[in-house]
Amino acid sequence: MSEFLSITGQVAIVAGTLIFAVAALGIVRFPDAYTRISAVGTAGGLGITLVIAGAVLLQPTVPDLVKAILAIALQLATSAVGTMAIARSAFLVRSPLRRLRFDELSERAREGEAEDDAGGARRG
């Protein structure tokens, strides 16, 4: 059983590291800020979860398991919020978007500006 946990832990750590490497490649290769943010946000959540889980599998003790669960929970919570904040700030400074598809958020922003100009109430 110990050998199984060791191999599984090593595989999880390697998989998490590969996810980080692919995210680093995505930062360089993706065309705009939004796709880059998406790559980093996904890697932050999934990659660190695999690395921490792999570390716990290599040294399976109850205190380490508790610390790992807490670290993973905090990472997943803060990664999602941080990614959202970075994406929103990129949108607010009008970071250029590669035009592949229709930008629904931009249309809603224009509709909101038109309602504000017309004196209408804002929908939330």
**Tens digits of residue pLDDT in 59-79:** 889 999 999 999 999 998 888
Instruction: Name residues whose C-beta falls within 8 Å of residue 88's C-beta, 6 or more positions apart in sequence.
Output: none
**Tens digits of residue pLDDT in 76-106:** 888 888 888 988 888 888 877 776 666 666 7
What's the pLDDT score for residue 96?
Answer: 77
Q: Could you tell me the pLDDT band of residue 54, with boundaries at 50, 70 and 90?
A: very high
Q: Percent of the chain scored above 70 by pLDDT?
A: 78
Domain ranges of the chain: 2-97
Query: Which two structure tokens, joined as six digits, stand for 100?
Result: 């592949």
Residue 121 phi, psi (nearest 5): -75, 145
Q: Helix, strand, or coil here: 102?
A: coil
**Tens digits of residue pLDDT in 15-50:** 999 999 998 898 888 888 888 888 888 888 889 999
pLDDT at 124 over 60: no
What's the pLDDT score for residue 119?
Answer: 55
Q: Which class for 65: exposed (0-12), middle (13-18), buried (19 or more C-beta within 10 A)? A: middle
Q: How far apart are CA 70 and CA 31, in angstroms?
A: 35
